[in-house]
Amino acid sequence: MQQHGSGDSSNGERPISSNTSSPVPTPASWVRRFAQDRRAVQQPGVMVVFSAQCETDEPIDAMSSSGSAEDDFRKPSVSIPNLNHSKPLRACNASQEFPEVIPLNVGGTYFTTRLSTLRRYEDTMLAAMFSGRHHIPRDAEGRFFIDRDGAYFGDILNFLREGELPQRDRVRAVHKEAQYYAIGPLLDSLEDTQPLTGEKVRQAFLDLLPYYKENLEQIVEIAKVRAMQKKARFAKLKICVYKEEMPVTPYERPLFNSLRFERSESEAKIFEHHCEVDVSFGPWEAVADVYDLLHCIVSDLAERGITADQQCIGVCDKHLINHYYCKRPIYEFKITWW
Domains annotated for the chain, with CATH where assigned, are 101-193 (3.30.710.10), 207-257+273-336 (no CATH)
Whether the pLDDT of residue 123 is over 80: the answer is yes
What is the per-residue pLDDT across 307-337, written as a single tens digit (0 to 9) for each? 999 999 998 888 777 777 888 899 999 999 9
Task: Give the separation between CA 212 and CA 226, rounded to whole angstroms.
Answer: 21
Q: What is the mean pLDDT of the chain?
A: 77
Give the orientation angle of helix 184-191 with respect to helix 153-162, to 10 degrees. 100
> Which ranges in the chain belong to alpha helices (H)?
27-40, 69-74, 86-93, 115-118, 125-129, 153-162, 171-181, 184-191, 196-206, 212-230, 265-270, 290-303
Output phi, psi for 215, to 5 deg. -65, -35
Is residue 320 exposed (0-12), middle (13-18) or buried (19+ Cβ within 10 Å)?
Answer: middle
Amino acid symbol at 134? H
Distances (CA, A) of 135 to 223, 233, 263, 320: 50, 52, 68, 71
What is the per-residue pLDDT across 22-65, written as a single tens digit (0 to 9) for each? 455 555 555 456 555 555 545 555 454 444 444 444 444 444 44
Mean pLDDT of 77-89: 44
Strands 101-106, 144-146: pairing is: parallel
Give the per-residue pLDDT at 37. 57
Q: Mean pLDDT highest for which of 66-80, 95-109, 265-279?
A: 95-109
What is the rounded end-to-end Cα distance, in angstroms, of the chain?
143
Output phi, psi for 281, to 5 deg. -115, 135
Q: Mean pLDDT highest for which of 2-16, 104-118, 201-215, 321-335?
A: 104-118
Report the share of the chain in percent with pLDDT over 90. Answer: 52
* pLDDT bucket at 250, cuts 50 / 70 / 90: low
